[in-house]
Structure 1
Amino acid sequence: MNISNYIIGLIFVLGSFHPFHVAVTELIYKEDDKAVQVMHRIFVDDFERTLNKAYDVNLDILALENTSSIDSLVENYLSQRFKVTIDGKEKELNYLGSELEEDVIWCYQEIYKVRKPETFEITNTMMFEEFDDQSNLIHTTVRGELKTIRLTLNERTDQVSFD
C-alpha cells in the first residue's frame, strides 16, 4: 500500500470527524473499452450543503431511498465544475448515476472513445464556492500507472502525463 492510499484511507476513516473538506476523484483508463471511468467520492453532508445553496433546495440526501431523484442536480453540478482535457481536446463527460455508501456519495461519469491517452488536464472546482479550504484529490490511472494531483481554490487545474 503506498503512502497516498494510506492517507486517503485515513481521511475517510475519520470521515465523521472531518474538520476539513475533501473529495476524491478517480479516473481509470480502460484500454479494452477505449474509455475513462470517472468516480467521485464526496462527503454527503458537504455535498448536500453545497447543492442546497447552489440550487436553492432543501435536500436530505441520507434520507433518500436512492439517489435517482437528485441525479439531474448532481449531473448539472458536475458538468459545470469538473472538466477533463485529454491530449489537448476537452472531452464530454457522460453522467451515469450516483449511489450512497454510508456518509459518502459516489458519482459516476465516463468518457468514451479515448485511445492511448498521454496527457490529462483536469479542472475540478467542486465545492469551492462553499468551502475555501476544500481540497479535491484526483487519482489518474493509465496502463497500471497511478498519478495523483491535489486541486484547491488557488489551483483549480493541473495536469498529469503518461508515456
Structure 2
Amino acid sequence: MFIVHCLLFILFSCFTFHPFHTSLTQMEFDPKSQTFEISVRVFTDDFETALTKENGGKPLHLNLGQKQDKLVEQYVRKHFAVAGADRKPIPVTYVGYEQEADAQWVYLEMPYAGKSQNVFIKQDLFIDLFADQVNLVTIQLNQVKKTVVFRNNQPVQAVTL
C-alpha cells in the first residue's frame, strides 16, 4: 500500500492538477545531533489553499518569491505535532521551507534521546480541506523504517520509536 501511494505521489507530482490529496512526511534520526530531521512534502496548490484559509481568506502564493515563513510555521505547528506517552508536546523546531517543482518541502527538527519510547503523532495537514486527504509519515530510526498512514478518521496515532 505504501509503495502504491508513493508511486502515485511521484507520478502525479509532475502535474499541477492532481486527482488525489496526499502529503509525505519523512522523519529520519540523526545520531550525531540526537535529533529527528523532519521533511514534509506537500503539493503547492493544496498548501496555498490551506494557507489562504489560515490567512483569513486573503490569497497567498508561495512561488512569487516572497517568503511566508511565519504563516507556514504557524500552519505546520497547528497540524503536525509529536507528544510523549504522557501527552506532553515534544518541542519541534521550524527550520524553513523551499519549493521543488509543484511541491513545497517544509523542514523541522525534533530532539530525541535515542531511547525506545511511545509517542503520539498528529499529522492532519489539509484534512479539514479535503475528505480524501492521506498523510503518510515514514519514520527511520537506526535500521528500522516504518510508515504510518493518517486519514480523516485517524489524525493522531500512537507510534513506538
DSSP-derived class of the 1:72 partner: helix
Task: Please show how residues 27-66 of structure 1 align to structure 2 within 5 Å.
Answer: 27-56=27-56, 57-62=58-63, 64-65=64-65
Q: Which amino acid aligns with 1:71?
A: D
Structure 1 unaligned residues grouped into runs of 5+: none
What is the identity percentage for the equivalent residue pairs of Structure 1 and Structure 2? 28
> Equivalents in 2 of 1:103, 1:109: separation in Å?
20
DSSP-derived class of the 1:90 partner: coil
Structure 2 unaligned residues grouped into runs of 5+: none
Residues 9-50 of structure 1: CA deviation (Å, up to 9, x unaligned): 332222225211000101111112111111100000011011
| Residue pair 1:31, 1:116 contacting (<8 A) in 2 also | no
Residues 42-62 of structure 1: CA deviation (Å, up to 9, x unaligned): 000011011111212211222
Q: Which amino acid aligns with 2:68?
A: I
DSSP-derived class of the 2:122 partner: strand
2:10 corresponds to: 12
2:123 corresponds to: 124
> Equivalents in 1 of 2:93, 2:55: separation in Å?
21
- Provide the TM-score with structure 1 as the length reference: 0.87
- Provide the TM-score with structure 2 as the length reference: 0.88
Count of paired positions: 157
User: Relative to 1, partners in 2 of residues 1:137 and 1:155: Cα closer, same or farther, differing over 3 Å?
Assistant: same
Task: Please show how residues 55-134 of structure 1 align to structure 2 within 5 Å.
Answer: 55-56=55-56, 57-62=58-63, 64-65=64-65, 69-86=67-84, 88=86, 89-134=88-133
- What's the CA shift for 1:107? 0.2
DSSP-derived class of the 1:136 partner: strand
